[in-house]
Amino acid sequence: MLYYRKISKNKAIEISSLNDFKRNIFNLNFVIERNQSHAGFHFLIAVFTWMFEFNIYDIRHWNYDNNCWEVYVESEPEPKPEIKEALGDEHENNMGIGA
């Protein structure tokens, strides 16, 4: 892959090229996909052994049961551990901490 960049919350762009010795003399693909995982615009051209690909697509996955995009709940960040100040044993005992 040559280039990848997230261009919005749910969209990304991908540009790549590859030298593959198994390619045909010429291949051209142009696809627009909807209502599926990674739907979007996909373009590929291959000439002899070189392939060039350009994609603008949705990074979300499609929920086929509900016919909509998957919704992922972001987890809450882990709470930071409390930092106890070094106040000495006498202070901890007055606060009910310790012995």
Of the pLDDT bands very low, low, confident and very high (cuts 50, 70, 90), residue 21 is: confident
Q: Are 51 and 40 in contact (CB under 8 A)?
A: no
Q: How many beta carbons lie within 10 A of that of residue 46, not counting itself?
A: 19
* The total number of residues written for the chain in this structure: 99
Predicted local confidence at residue 15, as pLDDT: 95
Return the higher-pLDDT residue of 33 and 93. 33
pLDDT in tens, 22-68: 767 888 999 999 988 889 999 999 988 889 999 999 999 998 888 88
Tokens of 21: 């010795």
Please tell me the pTM assigned to this model: 0.62
What residue ranges do the domains of the chain occupy? Answer: 1-65
